[in-house]
Amino acid sequence: MIEINFLDKKGNIKKIKANEGESLLEISKKNNLDIEGACGGEMICSTCHVYIVSNHINKLKKQSDEEKEILLLSNNIKKNSRLACQIKVTERLNGLIFSIA
């Protein structure tokens, strides 16, 4: 099991157990986090925009051009912005902290 941390808007951390290969969107849905993900991971909506708060941002698979384009539909884009549906959990991401954009 891999531990992923969700930082809510009040600054509280929720620890989530995740399986390798699950997406951040999938684990968010399973744990009832308030993330929309309207297109179900098809990368057409940008409503799964999250911020990677921990320095795991450098351990993530690089953004595809398509992900960059879809993120532009979203507000408040930062350097650590990603689409949760495009991030697959791996051992390297153990301890990752993310928040909803």
Kindly state whether residue 25 participates in binding ligand FES, applying the rule CB under 6 A.
yes
Kindly state whether residue 83 participates in binding ligand FES, applying the rule CB under 6 A.
yes
Kindly give the pairing relationship between strand 49-52 and strand 81-83. antiparallel
Beta strands in the chain, from DSSP E residues, in sequence order:
2-7, 13-18, 49-52, 81-83, 97-100
Return the range that interacts with ligand FES (CB under 6 A); candidates 6-14, 37-45, 52-60, 92-100.
Answer: 37-45
Site track for ligand FES across 54-73, x = CB under 6 A: ----------------x---
Q: By CB under 6 A, name the binding residues for ligand FES.
A: 25, 37-39, 41, 43-48, 70, 83, 85
